[in-house]
Amino acid sequence: MKIEPGMTALVTGGGSGIGRGMSMSFARRGVRVGVCDIREEDAAETVRLIEAEGGTAKAIRTDVSDRASVDDAVAAVETAFGSIAIACNNAGIAMHGVPLHEISAADWDWVIGVNIRGVINGIQAVIPRMLASGRPAHMVNTASIAGFQVNPTFLTGAYSMTKYAVVALSEGLRNELQGKNVGVSILAPAAVDTKIHLSERSRPDRLGGATVRPQNHFMGDLIKGQMQPAEIGERVAAAIEAEDFYIFTHPETKEWLDRRHAAIDAAFAKAEPLAAPAAAAAE
């Protein structure tokens, strides 16, 4: 889809990091951006940065884990700027450093609520409007390279689970929208220099409110000085125009996926003896 000046975008998690990077890249192309974030003051700062460059944006406090809040945000963006052409379901939180069997019930609700429900809510609130508008539109769902393999050292099983879900939702959505005017992409970065290690300050009140989760903090060192959100924003804008479905940003991570695929290939080799009787039975 060609990104045209005057289009409308909605970006969740737009108050920081990758969401801010995408918001600014869209705004530089003349797109009017609804910057949605649970931290309203951070969304307002993104708007200030956009306006300082001559762009147009609006900050909207949104909790993506709450369907009513997402519906309200979508309505507010469309009232301000017209029908949404670009929607980025990007808000997400880290959940690293604790073995799966020790993660608290509250943390499971939070990571599933934001990282999975948030994307479902975005799909359900925005896609019907995109289809009804009859205009070209595009949805970008932020997964992660963690949506394609599970890191062996950082205890990322829960986070990865949610990102695999984002990949499946996006692949399903793409299948369902074949032949329609709405494109879909999955954004799958590795380390980006953002505030994701401070995720716990964004825990919604309805899921327990801000908390302290020191297990995330090692990530601060891991991502410091890595790829900048502005680079991701430009990559995403280019990918929307090229209609790329998978948006990878860190070429060095391909070998992680290659390893996983090699293990799956090897496992399938053991299924081969089972194929002959099954085929015979089908005849």
Catalytic amino acids?
A: 159
Q: Does 92 bind ligand NAD (CB under 6 A)?
A: yes
**Edge-to-edge strand list for the sheet holding 86-89:** 57-61, 32-37, 8-12, 86-89, 137-142, 182-188, 246-248
Regarding 12 and contact with ligand NAD (CB under 6 A), the answer is yes
177 vs 222, beta carbon nearer ligand NAD: 222
Q: Check residue 200 for interaction with ligand NAD (CB under 6 A).
A: no
Please report where in the chains the tokens 């089908």 appear, as a residue. Answer: 282
Q: Which of 16, 23, 215, 216 binds ligand NAD (CB under 6 A)?
A: 16
Min dist. Cβ of residue 113 to ligand NAD (A)? 7
- The residue from 59, 93, 103, 123 that contacts ligand NAD (CB under 6 A) is 93
> Can you point out the beta strands (E) in the chain?
8-12, 32-37, 57-61, 86-89, 137-142, 182-188, 246-248
Among 7, 13, 26, 248, binds ligand NAD (CB under 6 A): 13
Binding-site size for ligand NAD (CB under 6 A) equals 32
70 in contact with ligand NAD (CB under 6 A): no
Minimum CB distance to ligand NAD, residue 177 (Å) = 21
CB closer to ligand NAD out of 35 and 85: 35
Per rule CB under 6 A, is residue 91 in the interface with ligand NAD? yes
Mark residues 23-62: x for contact with ligand NAD by CB under 6 A, - for none.
--------------xxx--x-------------------x
Euclidean distance between CA atoms 52 and 111, whole angstroms = 34
Q: What is the number of other CB atoms lying within 10 angstroms of the CB of residue 280? A: 8
Q: Is 249 in the site for ligand NAD (CB under 6 A)?
A: no
| Cα 233 to Cα 230: distance, rounded to the nearest angstrom | 5
Exposure string of 244-279, with b = 16+ CB inside 10 Å and e = fewer, is beebbbeeebeebeeeeeeeeeeeeeeeeeeeeeee
Rounded distance, CA 127 to CA 169, Å? 13
224: tokens are: 């410091």
CA 31 – CA 6 distance, rounded (Å): 5
Residue among 167, 192, 236, 237 that touches ligand NAD (CB under 6 A): 192
Site residues (vs ligand NAD, CB under 6 A)? 12-13, 15-19, 37-39, 42, 62-65, 90-93, 114, 142, 144, 189, 191-192, 194-196, 199, 202, 204, 223
